[in-house]
Structure 1
Amino acid sequence: MVDPILLLAFVPAGLALNLTPGADMMFCLGQGVRSGPRAALAASAGISLGAFVHTALAGLGLGAVVATLPWAFEVIRWVGVAYLLWLAVQTLRNTARADVPETTPRRAFRAGLFVNLTNPKVILFVLAFVPQFVDPTAGPVLGQFLIFGAMLALGGFVINGAVGVFAGGIGQQLARGSRVLDWISASVFAALAVRLAVLERT
């Protein structure tokens, strides 16, 4: 279904993009620092699922529709900003409560998924990057999008998860539940919210 030569070209290109520090990597880092390696891996899995969903929607043509509708782009963007700010505030509120447990892997997974799905920049990235490797003569376009999306998701899971696990190990060695770590995590979430708020559509 996918030309092997295109596949071989896609793998290093996709890994290079996965290795580029961005919002997803920083989010996993924040989750790792705050709640440890398991939460970081769960957040990475949620982000990867979100990336796969974006790719599937692009293959169906829905991503292009959203990208061309300014109001849809803005709605998605500001929902994401609000959610990231909410995470930052909740993290800071928890610093005053000693009985607040760490984020569970399930909650970290949901958070990672939601953060990725509400980042309209991912839609634009998928639409700009993946079609370069799609060959309409090689078979169903949607199937090719899904294959490439799965590869991006897998690479992202491994790389973002590794960053989060590393950060989680350091965070747990420093001090589990430390207020300093909560402030670091909250700062990461707030910075991502600001980044999303000021992004340009092009």
Structure 2
Amino acid sequence: MLSHVDWPAFLFAMLVVELTPGPNMGWLATLSARRGRAAGMRAVAGITLGLALQLAAAATGLSGLLAGSVLLYELLRWAGVAFMVYLAWEAFRDDGSAAPGIGHGPSGFRRGLVANLLNPKALAFYLVVVGQFAHPSGGLIWLQIFALGGIHLLMSVLVHTTIVMLGDGLGAALERWRTSLAVRIAFAIALLTISAWIAYSTSRA
């Protein structure tokens, strides 16, 4: 299973997506700086649970649709390209001026859960980016999506935990770094590069 996946490229794409500065990163850094690591880790647990539920929805929803449908495959392939371009634009324009509010205690867990559970971008990511790496030749579609999505979740936990550990003492510096123009441009270029790679590497021609 998954022998068809270009693992170096897939892992690089997942890592760049997770390292790209965004609302979760800014919120976790600020929360950890103000409320400490315990509050930050509760928020990480909420974020992870929300993403896991989105992954389950994507896997069960695609399992009966992808197999044998060339049209759907092409739609998902180009939707994945478009979504990565959108993420590039979002990374570039996020200057921190619309930073999310600060939660603490149990509310940090609830905010992390609800924000990711109700975030259509999270579901879109698993559908059109992770889902397109599933292929009938690799075995059960839903199992492939769960496996690939599980790898993303693991990376997410590692990155978010690192942010909490850094944010406890370096929250303000991390926020300045993530909203700097040079960092935003660099991640936007990386995401555009990944979108081009997706368009090329997933072509069946």
Equivalent in the alignment of 2:37: 37
Equivalent in the alignment of 1:132: 132
Q: Which amino acid aligns with 1:116?
A: N
Measure the CA separation in 2 of the matches of 1:131 and 1:170.
36
* Structural mapping, 1:6-155, within 5 Å: 6-61=6-61, 88=101, 103-104=104-105, 106-155=106-155
DSSP 3-state at the match of 1:61 = helix
Measure the CA separation in 1 of the matches of 2:145 and 2:119.
19
Measure the CA separation in 2 of the matches of 1:29 and 1:162.
10
Q: Deviations over 1:21-48 (max 9, x none)?
A: 1122122123212311122122122212
8 Å contact from structure 2 (residues 4, 138) kept in 1: no
When structure 1 is superposed on structure 2, of 13-22 and 48-57 the one drifting more is 48-57
Aligned-residue Cα RMSD (Å) equals: 2.9
Alignment gaps of 5+ in structure 1: 65-86, 92-101, 172-183, 185-202
Measure the CA separation in 1 of the matches of 2:51 and 2:15.
14
Aligned in 2, Cα 1:6/1:50: closer, same or farther, shift over 3 Å? farther
Q: Which runs of 4+ in 1 moved over 3 A?
A: 4-9
Alignment gaps of 5+ in structure 2: 66-99, 176-205
Query: 1:5 deviation in Å?
Result: 4.1
Q: Which amino acid aligns with 2:159?
A: I
Q: Deviations over 1:8-29 (max 9, x none)?
A: 4322211111111112212212
Measure the CA separation in 1 of the matches of 2:143 and 2:39.
31
Equivalent in the alignment of 1:97: none
* Structural mapping, 1:164-175, within 5 Å: 164-170=164-170
Q: Which amino acid aligns with 2:115?
A: V
Question: In percent, how many aligned pairs have the same letter?
Answer: 32
After TM superposition, the score normalised by the length of structure 1 is 0.59
